[in-house]
Amino acid sequence: MKAETNWKDELKNAIRSTKELQAFLPQNIQPIEDVLSYKTLLPPFFLNHLLKYPQDSPLWRQFIPSGIEEDLVMQKEGFFDPIGDLVKVKVPQLIHRYPNRVLYFPTSSCPVACRYCFRKNELEEKPKNLFGKDKEKIIYYLNKNTNIEEIIFSGGDPFVLDNNKIESELLFFAQFPHVKYIRFHTRFPVILPQRLDKDLLHLLQQFRDKTNIQLIFSLHINHEDEITPLLKEKIKPFTISFPWISQTVLLKNVNDKACALKNLYAQITLMNIRPYYLHHPDKVKGAMHFYLSREEGRRIYKELRQISSGWMVPHYIIDDANAKGKELAAVPE
């Protein structure tokens, strides 16, 4: 059996350009198109997993750069900020869209560069009002808005921070008596399950037990082929200790079949993760090749409901560029 790699080494050794990627891939693979406007980031663990699948597979489409991202006509159809983050940012790193909760961006880094990412343009340009750091302003804002009871760590991926940093971020928000819940949005367990180590589990448990602040985890997962044996093994103690929910983006030519979604939800419920959100794709500049119409989305969702038990079906939601926030994209019939 191969020794388990360390997640920090994986990130250090990650492929970071289309040229490096081409050199890494076997010679029988069709050439990878150069993409200059958007970063390439693929850690070896996940890249080796991806190589088990063909070039036109859901995994390749989600993570391998494609020249179509820079297609000028497609670029015109998409938005830099498709859900209005920049309208709702109140102080740097804090987006306040709903009365009782805020999104917090502790980082703009991720363990991978998802080609469809709705924040791919913001993550490239890192606007200061989104990613600049000013804890004093956050303290002022949270003290003024005592109806905020949940902080959602997003970004970027919060698990890219090391354990000390995660602990200090958690303790920072524990100073506000009205904060009752902290939620992590993460893709790390799929890309580098090694991140879910004993030290991280221990620190999260201790924080929850000491503060009584509930911790919730939302796994971003789009297709059953993303589930590796290491993911199943590593996530188990975390799902025993904490509530986990899922978020999935509906993506053209990736998971736009009711049976693909059903298979994914059947697998994650076995892992003790509750199917929670199915996002209609956003109109993202550089990712319009993943977009599908609302009618198509509704048709797929309706079929999913017909072939699945109700408890296995997530909410199907849509975020508009009008920055109003999530709305149900289809009302259950």
Does 113 participate in binding ligand SF4 (rule CB under 6 A)?
A: yes
Return the structure tokens found at 262.
Answer: 């059903």
Does 119 participate in binding ligand SF4 (rule CB under 6 A)?
A: yes
- The residue ranges of DSSP E strands in 34-179, in sequence order, are 89-91, 94-98, 101-104, 150-153
Find the binder of ligand SF4 among 49, 187, 223, 279 (CB under 6 A).
187
Does 221 participate in binding ligand SF4 (rule CB under 6 A)?
A: no
Annotate 161-200 with b (16+ C-beta within 10 A) or e (fewer): beeeebbebbebbbebeebeebbbbbbbbbbbbbbbeeeb
Return the structure tokens found at 61.
Answer: 């489409």
The reply to whether omega before 310 is within 30° of 0 (cis) is no
Indicate the residue among 213 and 221 with the shorter CB distance to ligand SF4. 221
Q: Residue 277 forms beta bridges with which residues?
A: 247, 315
Indicate the residue among 46 and 265 with the shorter CB distance to ligand SF4. 46
Q: Do the Cβ atoms of 236 and 198 come closer than 8 Å?
A: no
Does 61 participate in binding ligand SF4 (rule CB under 6 A)?
A: no
Least distance from C-beta 142 to ligand SF4, angstroms?
A: 23
Does 114 participate in binding ligand SF4 (rule CB under 6 A)?
A: yes
Q: What Å distances lie between residue 10 and 43, 45, 111, CA to CA?
A: 5, 7, 9
Residue count at the site for ligand SF4 (CB under 6 A)? 9
Does 219 participate in binding ligand SF4 (rule CB under 6 A)?
A: no
Indicate the residue among 11 and 117 with the shorter CB distance to ligand SF4. 117
Indicate the residue among 17 and 145 with the shorter CB distance to ligand SF4. 17
Does 278 participate in binding ligand SF4 (rule CB under 6 A)?
A: no
Does 285 participate in binding ligand SF4 (rule CB under 6 A)?
A: no
Q: Among the candidate windows 8-16, 111-119, 206-214, 284-292, which touches ligand SF4 by CB under 6 A?
A: 111-119
Residue 195 to residue 283: CA distance in whole angstroms? 31
**Interaction site with ligand SF4 (CB under 6 A):** 110, 112-114, 117, 119, 157, 187, 220
